[in-house]
Structure formats: C-alpha cells, structure tokens
Structure 1
Amino acid sequence: RSLIMTCLSLVFEGIILEYVEGGESKTRSIDLLDLRPDTDVTALVEEIQKREPLITASCLEHVIHLVQRLQEKLGEKQIHKFSLFKVLRTHILPLTNVAFNKSGSRFITGSYDRTCKLWDTASGEELRSLEGHRNVVYAIAFNNPYGDKIATGSFDKTCKLWSTETGKCFYTFRGHSAEIVCLSFNPQSTLLATGSMDTTAKLWDVEKGEEVATLNGHSAEIITLSFNTTGDRIITGSFDHTVAVWDVGTGRLLHTLIGHRGEISSAQFNWDCSLIVTGSMDKTCMLWDAVTGTHIGTLAAHSKEVLDVCFDYAGQRIATASADGSARVYNAGTKQCIAKLEGHEDEISKVSLCSCALLIWLNFELQGSVPNTFRCF
C-alpha cells in the first residue's frame, strides 16, 4: 500500500495525521493527553514514532515542532478579555444556526429566510449567499478540518452540499420524509450524516452524492448526532429519551443508551472515544461507557432542562448548559461539580470547553424576540 504524509494538524490535546492511502485521503488521530508544560517533547514524539509508522524520519522534526507549539499553549496563563467586535445584519429573517471553519477565518449562518450565508470573519464581508432551499435552513456545517465544503439541512426535507470557494451546489440529498434538524461530517470528510424529524438518520457519500445507509431504530424525532474522532461510530439522540450508538461501516445498531426520562438534547463522544455524555430535558446529564454502552453516572444538579453538554479535549471535564440560566463544570472521573457559572438571566443553549476557557452562548430567543443579527465577541 502507498502511504504519503500530506498534512499534520494541531489540535488541543492531540494531533491529526492526514495521509493518502491507495489514492484515498484518510486521517488518524493521536492523543497527547499526558502532555504537560514540563514534558520532554522530543522523547515523547520519539516514543510515539515507535508505534506510528506514518511518522517517518523525514517528518519527525515537523511533528516535534507542532507538539512544542501545543506545549506552549498549555503553558500560557493569559487572562482573555472580550469586547464587541462586529454586529452584522445577516438575514432578513431570524437566524437558526452559526458555524466556523477550523481556522476561524470564515463562518456561515443559517436562517428562516431559506438561505445560508458565508462571511469573512475579520472584515465582516458577506462572501456569498447559498440559495436553493424551499424552507428554513436549520442545520449547517463546514467539513472541518478541510473547510472546502458546506452542508445545509432544511425544513424542506433535503440536505445540500456546497463548494465553499464557488458557492456551487454539488448535490441535493433527498430521502428524508420530514424536516432535517441536525447534520455532521465525519472527521475524514467522506461521509455526511443527517438527522430528521422522521425518526431516522442517514449517511451520505460526499464524493458520489449517494445514500450509504439509513439508521432506523428510534421511535421519535432525532435532534442531535455526532461522530467519534475515528469516524467508525456515530451516536444519535432522540425525543424518545434514548441515544443510539451505530457502526458507521455497516449501519448496525450497537447499543441503545436507556436511562433518561425526558427528550435528549445533546450527545457527544470524548476525544479517545471511550466515553459518551448525554444531556436531557429531564434536567440531568449522564455518562456512558462508549464501548459497552453501560451507564457510568448521572449528573443531577440543574433545576431545569439540560440543553447542551460537552467534554473538554482531554475528556477530563464535562460542561453543561441549562434552561435554569446556569452552566456547570464537572470532573468526569469523580462526577463532582467543580464550578457553577451564573449570571445569565435566561436559558443557556450552548456551551463549549477548551483547555483554557469556557465559552457560553445565550439562546437567541430572549423574552419572545428573536434578533436577526449575529454578534462576534
């Protein structure tokens, strides 16, 4: 077989190797969960090289340099201050979603006006408008880390695949019998998954524009889905109170995570694919073994619905966002709440953890009014 190293991407707590095998682009992730500011990077990378044939002698120095950059980031003790950067009048009707490309240089917005718009982050310039859907554009995503394609899912029951550079629509995926409300690319950008109010999820071939599999098993709407970092598993969360774990290659249902007493709002794998965290309208967050599907623990501290959950990149902390106006941070090992973040006057709909900060977005809908502006901080 032919293995050619084409790119090395740096992410918090790991690196992603991008290579070509038999003419097909593939990726492989390597975690660096034990990396510390005082770690001997050269020794660490040489140890990884013994287990990973993709890291050849010719690219060893490049890998060491990238890991040193990550080590420098881990050692930074900066206090970040945020101020209003821009207010963009984006659409003629309310927004539904927003997503950045990997570098943050561009972002996209979806709207009730049936369009998706592409923007330059620094200048605030509208680069193009993706038009063609016949109803609300609700779910949107870049195919990160590449960022050369955009997917849009709509209430018109279709998903469209677009070129980021030209705005050309490559394919329109048809097959769902109800609104598409969530979608995601796999890490290799070879598959696109869509989840629908018709109780099914579908996998689509990005290059051929064909349906690969239909994931049947839920008894109510699917409102969240997520691939793991290796791309061989996908989870779907449903209003039927369950999360399903699927084998991507065969479309086979592996586990059904049963335990929540309300609709699922969010579900995510951790970095090394060993854990799954789920949030629910039953006011709790649950932790599961991703391999066996067994329940590990329940985080029950919120007084209202849990609207979003996430892991940090090391899989050591869990953050939750709730309709009670607070966010909480938990230790994934002990299941103990280590921080309660308060200050918002209304529900928090989105939460995101990185190695150095916790970012919280307030729900777009406040006191019954949905603004059609997007604010960058």
Structure 2
Amino acid sequence: MPVQTSTAKPPPARADMSVILVTGSYDHEIRFWEAWSGICSRTIPAAESGQVNRLAISPDKRLLAAAIHKKVYIYEIAAATSAGASAIFEGHNGNITSICFHSEGKWLVTGSEDGTIKIWDLRSNTHLHRNYDNEAPVNDVVVHPNQGELISCDQAGRIKQWDLSENICTHELTPAGDTPMRSISLASDGSCLVAGNVKGKCYVWKINEERSDLPRFQAVTKFQAHNKYLTRLLLSPDVKYLATCSADTTVKIWSISPNYEFKLEKILQGHQRWVWDCAFSADSAYLVTASSDHTARLWEMASGETVRQYNGHQKAAVCCALHDGAG
C-alpha cells in the first residue's frame, strides 16, 4: 500500500541529531531512526534477552532505557553503534510492561506483570531503590509532574496513586469494575488523568491539587474510543489532544476543550495491523506510532497524513520513543 507523504517541510531543528527516535520490536531489535529521512542509523540487537516491550529516553537525551522481557537495559545514546548496555537492572519476575524516567533523570520506574512497581536509582551501584507490591499485573505507570507521586493501572481494573515520600498507595479508583485498565496518561501540568481499558473505553478525571474539601480525583467524563482492544493512550504535551491506539489498526485523535469535553478530531489510517504505541513531538505537532505490521509511522497532526514510514523490523513493532525537545 503506498504511503501518503505530507507536503509539510520539517523545521530546521528537526533535521539534526537533536531528534531522538527509537523503536522496539518482537524481532529482538531496537532501532534508532533519522526522523525525517527515514534511515535507520543504529541497530541494537537484543537477541539473547527477548522481546523489547517499552522504551524511554532520559530527559537529557543521554540514556535509553529498554524494557526487554524481565530486565531493564540502559544504553548510552551517543555511544558507538556496536556498544552494548552500560547497565542492566534485574529484579522483576515477569514481563516489564512500562518504564519512565524521573524529570531530572536520577531514577526510573518500571511496572511488571509480576505485580510489582520498582524504582531504580541510576546513581547507585545497587540500583533497586524501592519496591511496591501492587498485587495484580501492572499494565502502565506514569510519574506525576510533581515527581513525588506515581499513578499506575493494572489487570484487576484498578488505578492507584503512590506517594513516594510516604511509600504507600494513597488513592485507588476502579472505574469499570474488574475490567483490566490498559493505559493511563497524565497531563503535563498535572491537571487531569485519562485511562483506557481493554474494551476501548476511556475515563477522565480532573485532579484537585488545592481544595481539601474536594476529592483528589473528580470524574468528569467517559467515552467509547474504540470498539476493539485499546493498547495505548497519550495526552499531547500541550494537553489539547488525546491519541488512542487500538487493535482496530487506527489511531484516533481527540481534541480536548477547557471543560474536558473530548471530540473526535481525526482518524489516522494506514497501519495494517494492531497499533501498539505512540509518542508526541515536544510541540504536539507530530505523532509517532508503532504497529504489528512491522512499521512505525510519523504523522502530521494538522493534516492527519503520514509524513514518513520506518521500515526494517522483521516482526511487530510494539514500542517507540521520541525526544525532540531541549535536552
């Protein structure tokens, strides 16, 4: 199927090495891409370790964290092409399903099918800093912008807030009973939380940070995003859009009004199989997606067109990471 190519011209800043774009696949490879040419600039084989589940780029663009089966591999982004992992974190007993960095890159958090959430200290030789027992397989974890809390969702249908200073779970939500919650996204300003379950339904909460007479999480709306399995959702950095990925091969873009009304803006069509992951550019103008059709795509939000397609993986591309902001 031919790929549509947008007439949009990349801004000068996007043409240099300040754009870090990475994909991971069930073919046991991690690939770095030149975002605008579509050329693969580096391949990291992970054959001995297994499938690559999730990827995260450190805020300073120095490190790539890869969740590969039960372990976390840390790679130096600027290292030579043949360089292996600079560190390996071990401790999970099941597939690692989520991974994200602290805003200053001092630590990272992982969630796993083994029912635990772990915090890893990048400055310590022992690495494992903290362990939370979630009692059910964890599907997603995000770090609150205040860097003092985590929010997770799990296979038991729960959303939990974890206080890092008190080392406890302080809030729990069960919006759809025991229907597994697949993905969560927190607004960059901490104003709202969106969660999606395996049945394609999305739930939205306004987060109250100031008034003690109001609940911390105020439910504001819910809507059916897809009629098939929802794999990932993500709020744009400017909190004006929500992207939802699905087994129906599409990515849907929802516009968000100031009073949290979600309106279907456009449907990104082109992938041939499940869409597993997505990542926004820093200015919210572009979106990268990864799919079971072995490809990743770069979409222009304004037109909804594919700007570039990344070919090279031999099996499903299930995760991607993009960092084109200030390092």
Q: Deviations over 1:70-112 (max 9, x none)?
A: xx73686998765446657774x55543433222333334344
Report how far residue 127 of structure 1 moved: 5.1
Matched, 1:231 2:190: yes
Matched, 1:292 2:232: no
Matching residue of 1:323? 292
Match of 1:268 among 231, 234, 247: 234
- 8 Å CA contact retained: 2:296, 2:311: no
Instruction: Give the counterpart letter for 1:116 in structure 2.
Output: V
How far, CA to CA, are the matches of 1:259 and 1:128 in structure 2?
39
Matched, 1:140 2:99: yes
Matching residue of 1:73? 13
Instruction: Give the counterpart letter for 2:64 in structure 1.
Output: F
- 8 Å CA contact retained: 2:299, 2:308: no
How far, CA to CA, are the matches of 1:181 and 1:341 in structure 2?
28
How far, CA to CA, are the matches of 1:95 and 1:348 in structure 2?
9
Q: How does 1:49-60 map to 2 (within 5 A)?
A: none
How far, CA to CA, are the matches of 1:108 and 1:165 in structure 2?
14
Matching residue of 2:131? 172
Identity of aligned residues (%): 17
Q: Deviations over 1:238-260 (max 9, x none)?
A: 20211222233312322213141
Q: 1:85 to 1:287 in 2, by over 3 A?
A: closer
Matching residue of 2:4? none
How far, CA to CA, are the matches of 2:131 and 2:322 in structure 1?
34
Instruction: Give the counterpart letter for 1:283 in structure 2.
Output: T
Report how far residue 346 of structure 1 moved: 4.3
Q: How does 1:67-106 map to 2 (within 5 A)?
A: 73=13, 82-84=40-42, 87=45, 91=49, 94-106=51-63
Report how far residue 273 of structure 1 moved: 0.6
Determine which structure has more spread, i.e. the larger CA radius of gyration: 1
* Structure with higher RCO (Cα < 8 A, 6+ apart): 2
Give 3-state SS (helix, strand or coil) of 1:294's partner. Answer: strand
Q: 1:338 to 1:138 in 2, by over 3 A?
A: closer
Q: Deviations over 1:150-208 (max 9, x none)?
A: 2122222111223221135433222x332112212123312112221111121111222
- 8 Å CA contact retained: 2:57, 2:322: no
Report how far residue 262 of structure 1 moved: 0.6
Report how far residue 309 of structure 1 moved: 3.2
Matching residue of 2:117? 159
Instruction: Give the counterpart letter for 2:163 in structure 1.
Output: D
Show structure 1 runs of 5+ residues with no match: 1-35, 38-71, 357-377
- Counting matched residue pairs gives 282
Instruction: Give the counterpart letter for 1:223 in structure 2.
Output: R
How far, CA to CA, are the matches of 1:318 and 1:133 in structure 2?
31
- 8 Å CA contact retained: 1:238, 1:264: yes
Per the normalisation by structure 2, the TM-score is 0.72
Q: 1:179 to 1:292 in 2, by over 3 A?
A: same
How far, CA to CA, are the matches of 1:279 and 1:85 in structure 2?
26
Report how far residue 281 of structure 1 moved: 1.0
Q: 1:96 to 1:314 in 2, by over 3 A?
A: closer
Give 3-state SS (helix, strand or coil) of 2:115's partner. Answer: coil
- 8 Å CA contact retained: 1:157, 1:178: yes
Matched, 1:216 2:174: yes
How far, CA to CA, are the matches of 1:180 and 1:223 in structure 2?
9
Q: 1:319 to 1:262 in 2, by over 3 A?
A: same
Instruction: Give the counterpart letter for 2:99 in structure 1.
Output: I
Structure 1 stretch displaced more, 219-228 or 292-301: 292-301
How far, CA to CA, are the matches of 2:236 and 2:112 in structure 1?
28
- 8 Å CA contact retained: 1:277, 1:288: yes
Matching residue of 1:10? none
Matching residue of 1:341? 309
Once superposed, what is the RMSD of the aligned Cα atoms?
Answer: 3.4
Matching residue of 2:29? none
How far, CA to CA, are the matches of 1:353 and 1:120 in structure 2?
15
- 8 Å CA contact retained: 1:158, 1:180: yes
Structure 1 stretch displaced more, 259-268 or 72-81: 72-81
Give 3-state SS (helix, strand or coil) of 2:262's partner. Answer: coil
Matching residue of 1:251? 217
Report how far residue 217 of structure 1 moved: 0.7
Q: Please state which structure has a larger fraction of its residues in helix.
A: 1
- 8 Å CA contact retained: 1:237, 1:243: yes
Structure 1 stretch displaced more, 145-154 or 79-88: 79-88
